[in-house]
Amino acid sequence: MGKIVQNIGLFKTTILGVLLIFVSGVALIIFYQLWGLNLYVFFGPCTVATFGCALAVGAGAGGALEPFGQYPGVASAMFGCMQLGGSSVIGTISGLFAVNTSYPLAITMIFTSLIALIVIFLKINSEKILYQTQLL
């Protein structure tokens, strides 16, 4: 992952990871509709989503903790707390659905990646607005 971050940067690496998760969720639904539920249909997209998670979480954590260099332990603990809290809520909600299809996992992948993309792009827009107001 280090070479990817060096080549395209933290921000684009995070977006790439989130997009891989989104595409994996869509692929899970499409493949389930075409071929039903089998080992290859399920684990193929999940493998791609795993790479997306590695890119998004690794680069996202690095970027999120970067401004808190003077308090690395506190920032890392807060990041871990938010990560575990969010995953427990998402896991509980997705566990409420029937498990005999790939829909719960696919919908979870799609919605969480869409929420992540919205948060990322809201942050970009807020930084642009802040920068423009500083120029005035």
Cα–Cα dist 62/7, whole Å? 15
91 pLDDT band, cuts 50/70/90, is confident
User: What mean pLDDT do residues 64-85 have?
Assistant: 84
Number of domains in the chain: 1
The pTM is what? 0.85
Query: What is the structure's pLDDT at 76?
Result: 84
Task: Please check whether residue 22 is in contact with residue 109, taking contact to mean a CB–CB distance below 8 angstroms.
Answer: yes
Cα–Cα dist 17/38, whole Å? 25
User: What mean pLDDT do residues 14-32 have?
Assistant: 95
128 pLDDT band, cuts 50/70/90, is low
Number of residues that make up the chain: 136
Query: What is the structure's pLDDT at 93?
Result: 87
Query: What is the structure's pLDDT at 120?
Result: 87
For 47-51, 106-110, 130-134, which range has the lowest pLDDT when averaged over its residues?
130-134
Q: Which range of residues forms the domain containing residue 43?
A: 2-135
Query: What is the structure's pLDDT at 50?
Result: 95
pLDDT greater at residue 2 or residue 88: 88
